[in-house]
Structure 1
Amino acid sequence: MSYLDQTAIIELEKMDFYAYHGCYKEEQVVGNKFVVNISLETNIATPAASDKIQDALNYVEVYNVVKEEMMKTSHLLEHVTRRIIDRLFIDFPAIIHATVKVSKMNPPMGGQMKAVSVLLKR
């Protein structure tokens, strides 16, 4: 591996959102807490050498994309997760691989459960 080909994993962990995703009308009215975790593989050779944000994958911009997608109501976690990963690859061409996990906390499952999650890799 050459110095010009230095990849790293950047993780944005435990991003909390209050959103209105769900199949049941009550979920779309009352809402719920969601947690999003993202892992992004990108080449960091240039920003690691330059120490300049314009050369790096900007975490603030990544967060803002996730936030925008989380604010669009969907019936299924699968749909939200796919929208997020699609946007990441469109908006950030420096991404080589991505993993997006969206978790609905305390889902209405008829019993006690901490979360239900969808994890998508590309």
Structure 2
Amino acid sequence: MPKIIIEDLKIYAYHGVLPEETKTGTYYLINLEMNVDIWNATESDDLNDTVNYAEINEIIHTEMKIPSKLLEKVCGRIIHKIHEKFPQIESLKIKLTKTSPPMMGEMKGVSVEFEKKF
């Protein structure tokens, strides 16, 4: 099955349980992998035969602007909106990483990852 992949989309947003997280914000990385039958596009060269990843990018940016306490909630909204717009997507995997979580220790970030089959 062909895939469309968005890698390390970096967005500044305001998610978190702690009040300072929703005031100061931080960078997030989004990785998205979609399984979708786009074989026709290899012959047609027509955007209608594939999934417009610019529109996927717009959906992600729109949902990331809505502050949430949990990354899980953000991922759920993104998955729902993408599937609503592109029902031809057969499965979707998303990984959302908070790059600077307010915790002790040095780390690259904390992530949640979901995979949904439709």
Q: Same fold (TM over 0.5)?
A: yes
Alignment of structure 1 residues 8-23 onto 2, 5 Å: 8-23=2-17
Structure 2: runs of 5 or more not aligned: none
Aligned length: 116
Whether 1:59 aligns to 2:53 is yes
Give the structure-1-normalised TM-score.
0.92
SS in 1 for 2:98: strand
Q: Deviations over 1:16-53 (max 9, x none)?
A: 00000000000000000000000000001221110011
CA contact (8 A) 1:106 1:112 kept: no
**Which of structure 1's runs of 4+ aligned residues deviate more than 2 A?**
none
Q: Percent identity?
A: 36
Structure 1 CA distance for aligned equivalents of residues 48 and 4 of structure 2: 16
Look up the equivalent residue of 1:25 and give its one-letter code.
P
Give the structure-2-normalised TM-score.
0.95
Structure 2 CA distance for aligned equivalents of residues 63 and 94 of structure 1: 17
Q: Cα RMSD (Å) of the superposition?
A: 0.8
CA contact (8 A) 2:35 2:92 kept: yes
Provide the residue aligned with 1:86 in structure 2.
80
